[in-house]
Each structure stands twice: as structure tokens, then as C-alpha cells.
A and B are shown apart, each in its own frame.
Chain A
Amino acid sequence: MNALKNLVDKVKPHFEKGGKLEKFHSVFDGFETFLFVPNTTSKRGTHIHDAIDSKRTMVMVIIALIPALLFGMYNTGYQHFLAIGQQVSFLDTFIFGALAVLPLIVVAYGVGLGIEFIVAQIKGHEIQEGFLVSGMLIPLIVPIDTPLWMVGVATAFAVVFAKEVFGGTGMNIFNVALVTRAFLFFAYPTYMSGDVVWVRTSDTFGLGAGNVVDAYAGATPLGQVATSATTDVNLVNIIKEPISFIDGFIGLIPGSVGETSTLAILIGAALLLITRIASWKTMFSVFAGGALMALVFNTWGPDTAAAHFPWYNHLVFGGFAFGAVFMATDPVTSARTETGKWIYGALIGAMAIIIRVLNPGYPEGMMLAILLLNIFAPLIDYYVVEANIKSRLKRAKTN
């Protein structure tokens, strides 16, 4: 650490005013403050100082995402070798998955940070750290076989139109990673849904070549539910072996890279809750709202497989848990009042289940539910604040 600090201090004068690399001050500043907590403080106004700043917060979220990422890598390899019917060691499985996921991460970060750096240079302000988390979320919420150029186009679109036009990090109305996914979903629907994109059946950089086994069918559990002809659906994995709640919880099932394992997501959730970065109210109420809505459909719903999909299964299959833990709790786009968080979370959960059950076109509703509630978050906050003002006025008058 000390050696790193010395190096940073040594090159620092070049980037200061008058130095030969002055133009790149914002880039340097971005890296320096990423590595070390800055020792400059605000000079005007009242400020509360805390050891944690937004860069440290972002890094914590990244750490919380690592279990889901690592599991996603392993699962990508696992599904691949399951599809081609080969038995390989744990390490080979993981390496295959890591090589498959890595390009997605590189493209998402490369494009997103590239735009952030350019915008920072043009506007002459510091590089904002918001993309650190978005860039990690994007690879985790797309199918493994999404073409890389699509990820690049979608990331560029989302960073420019969902973030920079609103004023950059902290000003965006919509969750940037979800806008990326929504763009992909509506622009290239055949690459984002259906039953061929969730499992990589071809080789990755020459590794793991093989032919798909006869029994192979790549539909996700929710895809099977959506296309089921009977109300009672028997979930199967990609080689037609039955799966149940516990498989959904552990996550060795087809799906977007990071969303399959509820277990890995919950480890991340625990970290976010212990460090108090995410709000437990939002997180809990998303699950509660979703469970309640699914129970309502289980009891009184129409005669479709989606409506009769048990409520506990709704919570572990698809992107529900991932959305609840990492997307709904985004501090920028979610409700900020404490009461508002309950309402916001519960509505996300309920809306996600409603879309899953009542719209056969969308087997998964979490993305649309969160984006929808992102719009309403300020409204919810507004009415919570208004209600508080009213009740306090009432109290003041009666006394």
C-alpha cells in the first residue's frame, strides 16, 4: 500500500495545474480517489464527515456482488458441460464459465467507463464513480450468449440516455443497469428471451467443444411456466431432470449469469445489510410484496401455470431475488423516506408477480416492475413527506 501511495504522490504533480498532463487531471483524480480516501474536505457549509464516501459504498456493493458473480461463472460452465454431456472437474467447469463471462464484464466496463471518462473530460469535472456498480451488474443480468456488440450498444445507450443527460451519477431516474437490460430486451428480443440463449452450447475460446445431448432443452424454469399448457408444471433442468425449490435456491439452473443462485445473492444481501448500504426495509418488502401477491394468485388466480406457481418458487426462480437485493435497493432510484421504502418495495414485488402471471409475453417481470416503480419513487416520497407534514400540523393545532 505504501509503495502504491508513494507512486501516486510521485506522479501527482504532472496532473496538477501547470503540469504536463494537466488535461488528464480528472482521470488521475478518479483513480487516486478510488485507491485512497481523499484528504480534501469541503470548506463551506455544514458537512457531516464519515469514513465512507460514494466510492467506498460502490466498492462494497461490488464485493457483495462477488458471490453471485463467482457462482454465475461456475453455473455457466456447469450448464455448458451438462448440455454437452461431459463430466469435467470443478476447476475446468469454473474456468470455462469465467472465460465466457469475462468478455461481458470487459465490454460493459470498457464502454461505460469510456463514456464516463469522455464526459468528465468534456465537462471538466471529476470522474463520477456511479458506473462501477452498473458495469458489474450489467454482465450479471444478461444471458450468457448475448453478443458482445449488443452489450456495448446497450451500455452506451443507457449511460448516455439514462444517466449523463440527467446530470450523471446520483441524478438518474432509472437504474442504469436495468435500462441497459430493457434496451436489449426490446431492441433484440430474440437474444434476450426464449429458450436458446441461456446456456452456452458452443465452445469458448476453443475450450469445451462438444455436441449437445439429445435430451437438451434450454428453457429457463420461468420460461417453462410461461409456455406450460397445463396448470401444474413440472420444472426440469436443461437435460429434462426434475428440479424443485431447492435447486432454484442453490441455483444450478439456466438463467441470466448472476441471477440464478438465491443463496449467493443472499450472501451478498447479508453483506449489504451488515454494512447498512442497502435498506433492509426495501429488500424485505420486495420479498413480502412478491410473496403476498403470488399467494393471492395461488388462491384466486386464473387457471394458468404461472398463477398456480407456488409463491415460494416465485421468489427463488428468475431474477426476483437479484432484483430485490441489488436493483430495488439502489439508493439513487429508490424511495428515500422510510415509509416510502416499504411502499416502494412492496409495489415492486407485487408488480413483478403481476407481470409474470398476467402477461404471457413476459415470463420475467422484475426488470419492468423496478423500472416502473423507479418513476414512482419520487411521487411516493412526496406523499409520505406531505402526510408527515399534515399529521404534525394536526398535532400542533390540537395542543
Chain B
Amino acid sequence: MSKLISDKTKEIFLGPLGKNNPVTVQVLGICSALAVTSKLEPAIVMGLSVTIIVAFSNVIISLLRNTIPNRIRIIVQLVVVAALVTVVSEILKAFAYDVSVQLSVYIGLIITNCILMGRLEAFAMSNKPWESFVDGLGNGFGYAWILVAVAFFRELTGSGSLLGFKVIPQAFYQAGYVNNGLMILPPMALILVACIIWIHRARNKELQEK
């Protein structure tokens, strides 16, 4: 038996987490990154939802790839994504109602997330189901960890808490520390994503344009 996970599959999975990250390198899915990252909890749920949807829609499209007529492929992809988004949205409403209220329209808007269409078009349409699944997982987690990182700093500095628990001790507030209200506002999400991109490019010189 060959290796369970070949080197190529490993690369498909790890690439989007680092050097080919959908958010920091391809700059896709920024809108939701701004909208749901003011608290850690919705960011984690959003990241997981996107991961599940990308992975499974990748598998489905990959299975169908040889039967989809080229001219209507976008519609087929949209139908598959929309169906999965609806399922995830209903599950969230049933089992995690509070978070689904916080995420409001953004779960529904996963349909329009550029990462999804990008992966379906660029990968699932021309690769086998297993690779597509791994690619979906990789891109989903690549997206998720950026969201979680941004949300971590926004919630920590903006609300002084993590996942709703106060982590900055009361003594700090008595000494004059104040939560940074700007961190809750959308512009700081953009600036934090920019900082991650900055660090990312500084560490991977090949990403820098000449």
C-alpha cells in the first residue's frame, strides 16, 4: 500500500495555509473577514462553515466535473454551493442560534465568497474528488486561521475578552487601561489583515513583486 497521504496531497493541503493563502496572497474573501471578526466566536464558526462548504462543494463538483456542460458550469456550481450553504445555515440556526444571529447575513453570503468560486473553477473542475476535498480543506483552513488571528487581536484589544471571557484583569482597568474602541470598527480588520500580509511577505521573499 502506498502512503496514505502522498507528498502531492500534502502540498495541496499545506499550500493554502501558508504560501498560497487565499486571504493574504490571493486577497479573496476579504469582505467577510472584515464583517465577522470583531469577536472570536463568530470568526471560528464562520471559518469552520466556509471550510466545510468549500470542501464538500469541491467534492461534489469534482464528481460531476465530466458531466457538467461547460457553458452552464457557473450555474451548476452556484446551485451546489447554495444547497450546502442552506444546509449549514439551517444547522447553525438549530444548534447554535446565538452565533447564527451574530453572523446574520454573512452565512448566506458565503455563496458569494470568492474563495469558493475560485476553488471550484480553478481546482475542482480539473481534479479528482480526493484531491479536491483536500484542497477545499486547505483553503478553508487557510481562510479560517486568518479570520481567527484577526478576531483574536480585535476581541482582545477591543473588548478585553476572548470568546466572551474577560482576560484583561480588572487591575489593568483600574490603572487606567481602556479598551480600544477602534478595534471593534471594520477599518481595523483591514489594517490587521494588512499587517498579516506584511509579515507574510516579509517572511516569504518570493511573494514580493520586483
Contact = CB atoms under 8 A, between A and B. Distances in A.
Interface of A: 147, 149-150, 153, 161, 165, 183, 186-191
B176 A188 contact: no
B176 A187 contact: no
Contacts, number: 21
A188 B178 contact: yes
A183 B185 CA distance: 11
A161 B182 contact: no
Contacts of B176: 147, 149
A90 to B, nearest CB: 32
Contacts of B164: none
Interface residues of B, number: 9
Contact of B183 (A161, A165, A187, A191): A187
Given A153-B180, A165-B198, A186-B181, 13 more contacts: A147-B176, A147-B178, A149-B176, A150-B178, A186-B182, A187-B180, A187-B182, A187-B183, A188-B178, A188-B180, A188-B181, A189-B181, A190-B178
B181 A187 contact: yes
Contacts of B183: 187
Contacts of B182: 183, 186-187
B191 interface: yes
A190 B191 CA distance: 23
A330 B25 CA distance: 35
A149 B191 CA distance: 21
Q: Which of B176, B182, B185, B191 has the most CB of A within 10 A?
A: B182
A373 to B, nearest CB: 18
Contacts of A183: 182
Contacts of A150: 178
Interface in B188-210: 191, 198
A186 B185 contact: yes
A188 B181 CA distance: 6
A85 B129 CA distance: 81
5 contacts: A147-B176, A150-B178, A187-B182, A188-B178, A191-B178
A153 B181 CA distance: 13
Contacts of B198: 165
A183 B182 CA distance: 7
Interface centre among A186, A188, A189, A190 (most CB of B within 10 A): A186
A171 B191 CA distance: 18
B181 A161 contact: no
Interface in B131-183: 176, 178, 180-183
B74 to A, nearest CB: 36
Contacts of A161: 191
Contacts of B180: 153, 187-188
Contacts of A147: 176, 178
A361 to B, nearest CB: 13
Nearest to A148: B176
A186 B184 CA distance: 10
A342 to B, nearest CB: 31
Interface in B69-121: none
A190 B173 CA distance: 14
B174 to A, nearest CB: 13
Nearest to B185: A186
A153 B182 CA distance: 12
B198 to A, nearest CB: 8
Nearest to A147: B176
A165 B194 CA distance: 11
Contacts of A188: 178, 180-181
Nearest to A186: B182
Nearest to B198: A165
B41 to A, nearest CB: 23
A153 B188 CA distance: 14
Nearest to A189: B181
Contacts of B185: 186
A54 B185 CA distance: 36
Q: Which of A161, A187, A191: most chain B Cβ within 10 A?
A: A187
Contacts of A191: 178
Contacts of B181: 186-189
Contacts of A149: 176
A19 to B, nearest CB: 30
A30 to B, nearest CB: 25
A183 B187 CA distance: 11
B181 to A, nearest CB: 5
Nearest to B183: A187
A381 B184 CA distance: 35
Contacts of A189: 181
Contacts of A186: 181-182, 185
A161 B191 CA distance: 8
